[in-house]
Chains A and B, each alone.
Chain A
């Protein structure tokens, strides 16, 4: 007999969300994961507002992946208004989004540690360790972006202040220190993940799915369709309860995020399952730090960083800003009119993309693992209810 189980809230995740599971003999037949935070209306808030306000507002969509939204909206507006930004600014933006990536993955480690440790003291020690690296990564964000949580230096036309050579040298020293700490932290994290799997006798391929993977590189070649909860659910309360939309890629679901990046960039053969996801995410911290160091060491960052052209367009061209956010592809689409006002705004966030991947992963697994599977995707509810 098929039973219906509701789990709400899901602790150790960002925001307020809910799981609805159809269960047969303790095995999930079908699962839905959705957000319960009210729609925050950033898409409509920006309509008929001056384009210069967009990066500031977009940054406030999310307190975790802040800067990637600012960068995406700035890119979209620059695209719509044909503003070319200096190369230095591009590099600095890459630097910011890489540090956001490391910062976010580390934050996820703090959240997930609630699952890994039974003893609060041990968890405390683990968190202390993670905090040390987060501190160094955040000082990079602070230096380049002008703030940790809502960086104010990201403006249309580039970045508002360059990085002088002495500052750059200090950052390199910081990143070297962070790298050392990160190596240790990643080892500890992977060790504990392995231990968790062994202790709880979890299946190796827990949370496997057969969906394709997608990154920002191939997103422009696929069809994107947004579907509403009203279309998915049959029951009435659900239709009006869920506050996030779901994105279909080529009429199908897809996974985006760390695993997709690994597959695209390193031709990695995925084994599937959420344990792999945890490991890859941990490894990506070091990779991001290395990339930050590479940019700092090879690029000249003290040149002109801003094109002060006023953003206006013909109201026809749809500007698209695609950024590879920590959780996957983040897209902002915008149209700007002659007076510099936004006339159309659309946001596609990675968590909305991953909703189907989460649902697919839940299929065929035991009920008690459901929350763990959701957590592994590091869903960001604030983003998905933008």
Chain B
């Protein structure tokens, strides 16, 4: 049993950073939604504000790390062109070149032309939205509980971050299954 460097980075990118954000999303959204003065005590409101700030900044950092490792570490291996002499129409010769492996067959081509093409772009919306949410929580602190309009806006941006990350994450999982990086 062994894990190659490429497999390890794919794991760090998807099952590490990416999964942390997707799994923690529900907790973050619940935290934003329930941050109402009528639902917490004074000591509770300060603790909740601090927890939201730390949680949202950690999630923002994690989603930045997800897209940075995905684009700058894993993606170049995915899109690397095979050397001269390898027939790009023969899938069996392209196992180390996932992009070309997928494109070699009509039955798998759409994992690249739709799946990867969507994933590689839409994912970058997630860290932008998540950073805004983190900033909102630290700028307002405990007073965020008295600003329902801002809290609603932050929740919408947080959901947008999740939608972008979930689309990218789902296709990442499918593509890795169809054409794993070795």
Please indicate whether A and B come from the same complex rather than being unrelated chains: no
